[in-house]
Chains A and B, each alone.
Chain A
Amino acid sequence: MSRDFDVCVIGSGAGGGPVAYRLAEAGYSVVVLEKGPWLREQHFTKDELACCRRAVYTPELRDEQHVIEQADDATGWQSTPTQASGWSFWNGNCVGGSSNFMSGYFHRLKPVDFKLRSTFGPIAGANVVDWPIEYADLEPYYDRVERLVGVSGKADTHANSEPRSSSDFPFPPTLEHPISARIDQAAAQLGFHALRVPRAILSQPAMGRRGCEYSGFCGSFGCSSGAKGSSRAALLDHAVASGRCEIRAHAKVYRIASDARGRISSVDYFDHDGQSHRVDAQIYVVACQAIESSRLLLASVGPRFPDGLANNHAQVGRNLLFSGGGAGSGDLVFEDHDEAATAAMRVVGPFVNRALDDWYTLDDPQLGRAKGGIIEFLWDHPNAVVRAENAKWRDGELVWGKPLKRRLEAWFRTDRTLNFEVFNDWLPNDDCFVALDGQVRDRWDSPVARVRIGAHPQDQRVGRFLADKGELLLRQLGARRVASSVGPAPPANLQAGGCRFGSAAEDAVLDADCRAHEVENLFVSDGSFMPTGGSVPYTFTIYANSFRVADRIVAQLGGPRGSA
């Protein structure tokens, strides 16, 4: 039977891009359906309004939102639509998805992340399991991402370094800020080991993309040089150039149809004008970011799937993950330092690129033997308006007039704030999941995702342990006003889980290849597959696993075609 395409990919971010790239490379026809517009390098500027103060790269919450369920001591769980709270869980809806706006901190998972259950044992209240694959299974794909997406770094020998098949990164490190050497020094004085952070940012032109231009405005902004390894710039542009990949922007998939045998038969989407279209393929790949991938499966009922596609064991949406941890900061006050040091601190553009992973695993009197995490150092985000916003409140009262102006002068001119962010595991638990909301619908009249965001208390204990170490380093640097905060609120941009992979359909949506146990022509290739999340940002691992899944799809289709 003739099909429109060999493979249909829903979502064009870090989960969808590698599949489209690899399948097109292997000679198969691919269609990528992306809900958002197709913006390119020339559309991206260093615009605080566009990136961070208006819904430009994400939907208006009045059109599309989520309902968030938060723990409440009095009433159990309290639901809040995000249109009421303003707390957006969208992270980038355009071709390339949120990878356009990432900071590109590319740490690999470490071997221990694949076997937390067997290494540390069970944790009461947490659904910790080992992965069905090992680090060695994913390592070749991390290596492929480093080459194809473009990762700049230097492989230093380090106590916690994970094994590598290549001796070093394919691109030299991005330029480093003068503070980086001071962090190294401060870490050494404390007996810590500062790690040079690999970045998914080209330090030199390659693969038709320009090298980094060091604007100093990277995370939250789209890249105007093409240096950042977004799915769009690094993969989809090449896939389209092959002639075998078609990208349909403004294509909002609202249903995956399945037949009486339980196979997917087609996909329905709305275009920019609200017209419905249908497309079919041999294999379907869902990669809408974790929350939306679960939502789409739950909404896609069929004759064999009354509770949603691939959900006959009631696993879809369960064990959603965010990232545990928190953030801290300290002010490096110019008058505490000599002229040369102050001039060095004022430099804008090069990256800090330093992290601590000394406590990736813990053996601590209070915490026992446990999984830890990493501490990432970075300058305070360069956005100016958000910095000024903090100046308008003093002791709960508004400040204006000349007192406000003196405050702005002090806040902008007298110091520079160095931050750290802590990343540790968000333990999978029964109170963190995606369901369909019974009342709130999006502008296409589909039920929105209802997301319960319960966190396990262990996450905060580990986060606090790590944040205390981050504070020590800031104090060693001579920072003033050092403080940190670790809480249960999830970072909405660091999502995984919801369709975990595992060997048995009873407790996993996907098999070890990320094919649905219950649907032979369905794969999920975004971060949904992760049963535990590790203690680093997710994008690198999503990319690597998506390339692994792509190889399994090529195999299922009969191997590479022709001379490809």
Chain B
Amino acid sequence: MIRRSGPRSEPVEPAESFAAVRDALLSRRRFLIQSAGGTIALLFGLRSVGAAEDPDPWPTLDAVLRHLLPSEPDSPGAEEIHALDYLRFVVGDQKVSAEDRQFIVQGSQWLNQLSQQTYARAFVDLDDASRELLLRRTAASAAGENWLSTLLSYLFEALLTAPAYGGNPNGIGWRWLSYVPGFPLPGPGTRYPELPL
């Protein structure tokens, strides 16, 4: 890649028109900024927004991650790649925008409210088929799709970035996909939060 044509973190093909470029760039961020105020919970598919907050979002997030990247005998899933540990690193990382970090946690709360409204049970208590139906319904809303897309991006990071960040233990993700990483890899002292910036 000599030419750098798009925003960080998101693959962008050179677009045929300015409008396409702008729309591609703006859609995700606009949702993130609006979601910081919690005003788009209704767009998430909720009939109404509950007042009570989920005290611990991590069991729900864990269940969603395991559903998005399931474990199989011959290939790792969210559990084997330590996706939850990695997501904890992300949510505590100052280099990830506050909006993005808040959105991850807030989305799990909305999902649980949707689960209660639909099945009168928490997401973690649903069977696999009900989880799939609920997540598909979530993905049908613009904000819900955005939230799931965000989680998938961090799953890919847990799967394919250096083990020093908490995911991809012993390169399990690289081995699965026959991917050859570059060396030297970051380790203690050279992880980006530790650089003398």
Contacts and interface: CB of A to CB of B under 8 A. Distances in A.
Contacts of B95: 54-56
Interface in A50-87: 50, 52-56, 62, 70-73, 78, 80, 84-87
Interface in A8-55: 37-39, 42-43, 45-50, 52-55
A87 B7 contact: yes
A488 interface: yes
Most chain A beta carbons < 10 A, residue from B4, B25, B191: B4
Contacts of B67: 400-401
Nearest to B184: A45
Interface string B1-37: 1111111111101111111011001101110010000
A85 B8 CA distance: 10
B184 A70 contact: no
Given A86-B8, A219-B2, A413-B177, A43 B17 contact: no
A88 interface: yes
A487 B4 contact: no
Nearest to A104: B2
B9 A53 contact: yes
B50 interface: no
A382 B180 CA distance: 9
Contacts of B13: 327, 485
B195 A87 contact: no
B39 interface: no
User: What is the interface of chain B mostly: helix, strand, loop, or mixed?
Assistant: loop
Interface string B154-197: 00110111100100000000101111111111110011100111
A70 B180 contact: no
Nearest to B151: A400
Contacts of B196: 37-39, 43
A174 B132 CA distance: 51
A37 B197 contact: yes
Interface stretch (B55-63, B69-77, B102-110, B113-121): B69-77
A402 B149 contact: no
Interface string A110-128: 0000000000000000000
B139 interface: yes
B166 to A, nearest CB: 11
Contacts of A78: 22
Contacts of B176: 409
Nearest to A393: B149
B42 interface: no
B171 to A, nearest CB: 11
Most chain A beta carbons < 10 A, residue from B2, B25, B174: B2
Contact of B161 (A49, A62, A80, A327): A49
B182 A491 contact: no
A215 B182 contact: yes
A131 interface: no
Contacts of A385: 153, 156-157, 160-161
Nearest to A82: B7
A155 interface: no
A367 interface: no
Given A72-B18, A85-B22, A388-B159, A413 B178 contact: yes
Nearest to B197: A37
Interface string A476-518: 0000000001111111111000000000000000000000000
B68 A404 contact: yes
Contacts of B85: none
Interface residues on B, range: 35 or more
Given A48-B161, A384-B160, A385-B160, A487 B14 contact: yes
Given A45-B185, A85-B29, A488 B18 contact: yes
Contacts of A55: 8, 95
B143 interface: no
A216 B8 contact: no
Contacts of B148: 398, 400
Given A384-B160, A385-B160, A398-B149, A56 B26 contact: no
A256 B95 CA distance: 32
B43 interface: no
B29 A86 contact: yes
A289 interface: no
A80 B184 contact: no
A49 B3 CA distance: 19
B4 A491 contact: yes
B1 A381 contact: yes
Contacts of B30: 84
Contact of B186 (A47, A85, A405, A537): A47
Contacts of A563: none
A485 B14 contact: yes
B3 A494 contact: yes
B7 A85 contact: yes
A80 B196 CA distance: 32
B177 A408 contact: yes
A307 to B, nearest CB: 29
Contacts of A409: 75, 176-177
Contacts of A325: 3
Contact of A389 (B4, B10, B174, B190): B10
B139 A398 contact: yes
B188 to A, nearest CB: 12
Contacts of B6: 87, 489
Contact of A80 (B2, B14, B22, B197): B22
Contacts of A494: 2-3
A485 B15 contact: yes
Nearest to B178: A413
23 contacts: A45-B185, A45-B187, A52-B9, A62-B97, A70-B21, A86-B8, A86-B29, A91-B4, A327-B14, A376-B2, A384-B156, A384-B177, A385-B160, A389-B10, A390-B11, A398-B145, A398-B152, A400-B69, A401-B67, A401-B132, A402-B72, A421-B2, A487-B21
Interface of B: 1-11, 13-19, 21-22, 25-26, 28-30, 33, 67-70, 72, 75, 95-97, 132, 135, 139, 145, 148-149, 152-153, 156-157, 159-162, 165, 174, 176-187, 190-192, 195-197
Q: What 10 pairs across the A-B complex have the smallest Cβ distances?
A: A46-B182, A217-B182, A86-B7, A491-B3, A412-B177, A384-B160, A85-B25, A388-B156, A215-B182, A485-B14
Given A385-B157, A489-B21, 11 more contacts: A39-B197, A45-B184, A217-B182, A221-B182, A384-B160, A390-B11, A398-B145, A404-B69, A409-B176, A487-B17, A491-B3
